[in-house]
Each structure stands twice: as C-alpha cells, then as structure tokens.
Structure 1
Amino acid sequence: MYLGNTAKGVKEAYERNFKVHQGMSIGGLRLCRQEVSLCEEMGLGERRGPFTFPVPIVLPYSIKIYFRLYIIAGGMSFAPGDLWLISAPNEGSPQETWDKLNRTTNNMSVNYKFNVPDLKVGTLDQLVGLSDDLAKLDTAAEQVTRKLTQYFADVLEDEQDKLQENLVVSGKDVKTYVTKFQWESAKYPLKQSLKLLSDIIGKQITQIDNDLKTKSTTYNNLKNTLASIDRKATGSLLTKDLSEIVKADDFILNSEYLQTLLVVIPKTLAKEWQRKYETLSDMVVPGSSRLITEDGDQMLFSVTLFKKVIDEYKAHCRENKFIVRDFVYDEESLKIGRNERDKLVQEKQRQYAPLVRWLKINFGEIFSAFVHVKALRVFVESVLRYGLPVNFQATVIEPNKNSHKKLRAALHNLYLHLDTSAAGPIEAIEDNPILMSLGMHDYYPYVFFKINIDFTSMKR
C-alpha cells in the first residue's frame, strides 16, 4: 500500500494536527488494524490512499511494514538511570549476531543478553492488540514502581540513605536483575497465552497499587495526627500548646468566682501591661499577674479576676494588643492528651517495621512485573517486525557516559537494512521538523525500549 502521495500531503497531515507522540502507539495501532482489515476484506496485499488518517512516510509499504511503522514504544527521553532494551533478528548464528553488535558498539556501551523465553505467539491481530495493552501496562508498572519507591523514602524519614540497599529484586539490585534477567515461570507460566500473561501481570500491578494506597493512607493518618500534636508544641506563644509550659500552681483552681487567664504580651509592651492590667476592668485581683515564660519577642503572663468580667477584660486586652489565650487548666485532660501522644508514638513504631518489610517485598514484586512487561513487549514487537519463525536477539545496553548520540547512530547504521521505512540517516530525521513533529525521532529500524532503573531521584 502507499501511505500518502507527496511531501505536501505529509505537511497537510501535520497541519490537520495529527501529532504522533508518546501515546501514538495506542491510537495508531488501532487505526493501523482498521486499514489492514480493510485491505484483507478487499483481497489486497497493497492499497493506495486515501486512508482514515495521515501518515508520515511517502513510500510504498506492504501491510507488514505498515504494522512496523506504528509499533512504537512510549516516551524515548533518556536519563542516566536508563538502560536500553533492543532486539534485532539473528543474521547467521546467534553468536555471530551478538559479536557483530559488540564490535559495533565497542567503547560506547556495555551489552548484556536479555533472555526472552519461547512464548506462545498467537495471531497477528492478537499481537497488534496486545501491543497497545502492553504499552499501557508498561506505563502503569513504572508509575507504581516509582510511587512505591518514593513512599518508601518518605517512610524511612531520617534513614533515607538506607533506601537503595532495600531496593532489591530476588536478592539482586535492580541493575543486576535486569542485566541477568531470567523469566520467572512460577509466577508467569510459559504455557499460558501472551494475553493471559499480560492479564496476570496487570492484576498484580493493580493489587500492589491498591494495597499501597490503603497502607499509606493508614500510616499517613497516624503520622499526620502525631505531627499535628507536635506542631502545637512548637511555634510562638500565640499558637503553641501551653499544656507543657504551665503548671497547676499558676492557676486559681476550683473557685466559684475567680478564674486565671493567660495573656501573651509583646516584650515592648511589658511595662505597659504591668501598669494597666489591674485597670482594664473592675474586679481584677491586685498583684495577681505573674510572668510564666518568655519566648523570643513575646512574654506569657497570668492574671486572676472575677469570672463575671472576663468578656469585658478580654475586649480591653484586644484594644491594647494584649492577646488572651483560650486555655483552661484541667489536669485530667492534660494527662489524657499526653497519653494520647504516647499511644500514637507507640502505634507508629508498631506499624513501621511491618510497613518497611511490605515495601521492600513489594518493590521486588512490582519491579519484577515491570521487567517482565518489557520482556513481553520486546517479544511481541520483534514478532511483528521480524515475522516468524521467532529468531531474534534481545539485548540490554548500558550506554557509556556521553556516548548516547554516537551509540544511537552506530545502532542505526548497523540495523538500517532491517526496515526500509526508516527515514534515512538519523541526522536527517533530527534535521527534518516535519518528521520530528510526527514522532519519527522515536522510531528506529530495530525494536527499542528504555528501562528506567533509577527510582530514587525526583520524578522525571
């Protein structure tokens, strides 16, 4: 089939706001499937436009190449914590293919064989549909992994330096787990179809995400309540909890007529307070004001007066910038408050160890699921690109520092012959704004995904 007719058609397609971006494989593959189904219904191996959607390349394509064009993984931005997962068909023996890759990337990367088992292929239509599903599952797995890791760091609080040592998968650190990946058949039986394996992993991701929400909500409520109590013990005399500052001797207690008030005075008004406090209303006990404590530029005084004039006294205090704290000394209530905090501290300590253990175990589970999704994706995309029988080599590539661009060019040149839909030299793609805007910077003549292994940095 022909995808469009001229470069002008491509430009018009772009102007109609068809933008291929990170999520294009979801919509693109769906439309791709529609076009191929139409070709099959018409009995055509090829078809010239018009098509139901614009396309970025103006070359003749077979149905097979049409599939290839739209099998594109999500975002392709790179960071120091990324490994590259690629696959290419074996040309000659598997060892010859491996040696050729290593010669090409010499001094630019460290390469590791990525062991993808013999999985059930299914039909072409199933593979295309699964490609969409796995792209979504890949995103979900990475998001939950990051969410869990960041919450793990929050839980560790002052011991966040111990986070990395707790991020283990089957007894290995994350990089070792990826570079020495072995399919876990006990969790994901090879006799099952690709769709069922995808569903198993999807349910696992959802379960971990739901459990994380439940556990984090419970623990966070406890932390927040405790933090709220502790905040009240800090701050200025205007806001802090006074129960740990005052004592029973500071008050007239159990009196039918008298009550002691606590008043916060700016230090600059201390002399004015001493001069005025007895005259702010009638029925103030002479000489009853006592300095209880001072903090920064504020002082806390007590004053005793008759209960019947309290409202009037408070009003006159406000007029003079003397702040009366609403505080009633009750030994029983204060004791209950102190006991409540102690109980919260004990409950937090009780929940801490099991929560850390759960986070450690489930980081391993979610990261393992994440990498198994990558394995499924590389298998599905390799079959769609390279056809049957299944005969490809998957490789994890760890780019050397400052070698990303050279490495990408070397891989492009090595595998350019695999797909005539690749838009020429990689520099030509980067210099063509139309192709770049249509997502071709994300398309390579070989299967490519990135694997993020840095979940301890800020969200990228």
Structure 2
Amino acid sequence: MTEFWLISAPGEKTCQQTWDKMMAATTRPNVLSTNHKFSIPDLKVGTLDVLVGLSDELAKLDSFVEGVVKKVAQYMADVLEDSRDKVQENLLANGVDLVTYITRFQWDMAKYPIKQSLKNISEIVSKQVTQIDNDLKSRASAYNNLKGNLQNLERKNAGSLLTRSLADIVKKDDFVLDSEYLITLLVVVPKTSYPEWQKVYETLAEMVVPRSSNLLFEDHDSGLFSVTLFRKAMDDFKHKARENKFTVREFQYNEEEMKADKEEMTRLSTDKKKQFGPLVRWLKVNFSEAFIAWIHIKALRVFVESVLSANRCATVPRYWLSLLRYYPLFIRLSLETQYLICKRDLFE
C-alpha cells in the first residue's frame, strides 16, 4: 500500500525556495521520499474563530468520507466475487489510478467553487458523500437480498444426497402416483452398502413390492434408490431402514412446486445478471466521486491547519506537496529538524 503525507511548509521568499528547502530535507543526503507539488487555490480564509471550529468539523468529515470510500471499495470487491483481480482497475479517480490522481491533483472548481466559504465547501462535500453512503446502503441491500435468495436455492441443489434438493434428480416416472394403496419412497444408501441394500430392502417391512428398487442418482459417497411399498407398511419400513443405516428422504413429488422452484432460480439468476453491470458502473463512478471528495477534504484540512499554524508561528505557508514516505521515522526527524519552529503544528 502506498502511503502519502500531505505537508505544508512555512513559506520562503519564493515558492521555489520553499520547494528546494523541502527537497533538501527529504532527499539529501539520503532519499527519504518521492515528492510531488500539491497545488491548492486561493481559498477564502475567514476568521480564526471560524477556522478553529472548522478544524474539528473537517477532522470528523475526513473520517466519515474515508469510511465511505472504503465501504464502496469493499463492496466493489464483494460484488466482483470471482473477478477480484479486476477490483483495482475499477477503483479509479477521474479515470486514472489513485496514485496518479493524488500526485497530479488539481482542485475541481466546478464541484467545489473557491468563491464559497470553507464551511460551505465542506458542507457540499458532506452532502455529496452522505448521498453516496445512503445510495450504497439501498443498492447493497437490494442486491444482497437477491444474491442471498439465489444462494439459498443453489445450496438446496448442492451438497450430499442427505440434504440437497431432489427436485432436479427425480422425474415423474420414478414414482407411483395417485395410488390409494401404494407409495414410492426415496432412500439414501452408502455406496459401501449397495449389496446389503439389494439383499434386504424387500424384507425391511411387509408388503414391499418385489424388485421395485431402482438406482436414480449417485454422488461420491451415496446412491439414491427408489422403492415401492404399501402405504400402511411405510412407518415400519422407515424404522427398519434406519436400523440398517439407510436414510429415507422425506419427499413428495409435486410437479408444479418443482417447476416453480426452477422458474424462481432462473428469475433470480437473470435478475442478478441484469443488476450486476449497472451496479458495478455505479460503484465505479461513486468510488471516484467519494475519493475525489476525500482528497479535497484533505486539502481543506491542510489549508486550515496551515493558516492556524501560521497564526501561531508568525509564518505564512506558501507551498503544498504530497510526500510518499519510505522511512517514516527518518522523514519525521528530518522535517522536524528543518522546520523546528513549527514542528508542533506540523505533526500534532
């Protein structure tokens, strides 16, 4: 993960002198960071009382916007599921990767007019990101419900023969239907017990129809057998089957219900595919919007803290830059040494 520090340096006579001093502190004699100029326009300063209050508000807003950015990114990863390797290519800001956006940052005058007060700009960001957060909750809830319902149906058709749905395994011809006296049961038999089943199933109860058992389906461990018997012998058969470690599955063949389940799965699968594309596009667009808003809040915070710091230190910050830090301790020591007079304001 690439980590940046956004640094405000006390101004020298010219911006270039300020930059050169910062470069000297962080790249000579050892390269401690890669530095980039970070341009902030002339924003309305306002009174110190307003700035002090705004400083706390911006800290809270910074944390909130960061949280929304992370939630959108995480949900993008959740939605892409098996294509998580594509997450990074969808997490862009203004169509470029995040590092490029940060290192080439330009204030968005259209979204955040600098003629507005700092408080108004922060309120614009707050309203924008709150709307993204609310929309994310709504869209995520709808998609998660759809996905959850589909997964529940898929789980019914997966797993072992002891638990999975049998609707897609059996067919009408496997059963004796609409008989007053006869019933067809479905029995799960371990593969190792196939010979035993064939040997004893006709004797597990009275009135089992001879040679009525057929293997309908098998997985790695077991097979699903049908067997036909008289209804009044059903309870006794189930009891004896259990004693022999054969499992009778409770199942009633209902063609309409089975058809409805298949149609429901098809509908849910189709709806999920329909929602997937628009949802990914929405996440991509709104991640970009939230991330851009977040960096503007970072810029506002540095601006406000710099003005407050300048007031306390009797200096004027003239230059802004991003620091890609490699060795945090050494960068901190170097900057504190270079800007000793205001180190308290720089790092606390």
Query: If the length of structure 1 is used for normalisation, what is the TM-score?
Result: 0.71
- Identity within the alignment, %: 55
Matched-pair contact (CA < 8 Å) for 2:9–2:22: no
Amino acid paired to 2:96: K
Aligned with residue 372 of structure 1, among 296, 302, 319 = 296
Aligned with residue 8 of structure 2, among 69, 76, 87 = 87
Q: How much does 1:83 deviate?
A: 0.7
- Counterpart in the other structure of 1:439: none
Matched-pair contact (CA < 8 Å) for 1:90–1:97: yes
| Equivalent position SS for 1:120 | coil
| Equivalent position SS for 1:234 | coil
Distance 2:334 2:208 in 1: 90
Aligned with residue 381 of structure 1, among 305, 317, 322 = 305
| Equivalent position SS for 2:205 | coil
**Is 2:189 the counterpart of 1:268?**
no
- Counterpart in the other structure of 1:185: 109
Matched-pair contact (CA < 8 Å) for 1:382–1:392: no
Aligned length: 343
- Counterpart in the other structure of 1:48: none
- Counterpart in the other structure of 1:396: 322
- Counterpart in the other structure of 2:215: 291
**Is 2:20 the counterpart of 1:99?**
yes
- TM alignment of 1:248-267, pairs within 5 A: 248-267=172-191
- Counterpart in the other structure of 1:207: 131
- Counterpart in the other structure of 1:133: 57
- Counterpart in the other structure of 1:335: 259
Distance 2:226 2:317 in 1: 87
Matched-pair contact (CA < 8 Å) for 2:18–2:318: no
Aligned with residue 158 of structure 1, among 63, 82, 96 = 82
Amino acid paired to 1:393: Y
More displaced, 244-253 or 131-140? 244-253
Task: Could you tell me which runs of 5 or more consecutive residues in structure 2 were left unpaired when the two chains were aligned.
Answer: none
- Counterpart in the other structure of 2:273: 349
| Equivalent position SS for 2:216 | strand
Aligned with residue 194 of structure 1, among 118, 121, 127 = 118
Matched-pair contact (CA < 8 Å) for 1:382–1:447: no
More displaced, 285-294 or 384-393? 384-393
Deviations 1:318-368 (A, max 9, x none): 233221111122222222222221111111111111111101100110001
CA RMSD of aligned residues (A): 1.9
Shift in alpha-carbon separation, 1:102–1:389, aligned structure 2, 3 A? closer
Which is richer in helix?
2
Deviations 1:93-145 (A, max 9, x none): 11101111112212222211111222222222221221111111111111111
Shift in alpha-carbon separation, 1:447–1:190, aligned structure 2, 3 A? farther
Deviations 1:353-386 (A, max 9, x none): 1111101100110001110110110011111111
Query: If the length of structure 2 is used for normalisation, what is the TM-score?
Result: 0.92
Aligned with residue 43 of structure 2, among 104, 107, 119 = 119
- Counterpart in the other structure of 1:440: none
More displaced, 173-182 or 274-283? 274-283
- TM alignment of 1:431-442, pairs within 5 A: none
Matched-pair contact (CA < 8 Å) for 2:190–2:221: yes
Distance 1:87 1:228 in 2: 54
Shift in alpha-carbon separation, 1:130–1:147, aligned structure 2, 3 A? same
**Is 2:245 the counterpart of 1:321?**
yes
| Equivalent position SS for 2:224 | strand
- Counterpart in the other structure of 1:216: 140
Task: Could you tell me which runs of 5 or more consecutive residues in structure 1 were left unpaired when the two chains were aligned.
Answer: 1-79, 423-444, 449-460
Q: How much does 1:228 deviate?
A: 1.7
| Equivalent position SS for 1:329 | coil
- TM alignment of 1:57-68, pairs within 5 A: none
- Counterpart in the other structure of 1:33: none
Amino acid paired to 1:248: K
Matched-pair contact (CA < 8 Å) for 1:105–1:410: yes
Q: How much does 1:259 deviate?
A: 1.4
| Equivalent position SS for 1:365 | helix
Deviations 1:216-239 (A, max 9, x none): 111111112212222222211101
More displaced, 148-157 or 333-342? 333-342
- Counterpart in the other structure of 1:413: 337
Q: How much does 1:447 deviate?
A: 5.5
Greater relative contact order (CA < 8 Å, ≥ 6 in sequence): 2
| Equivalent position SS for 2:320 | strand
More displaced, 82-91 or 288-297? 288-297
Distance 1:143 1:349 in 2: 28
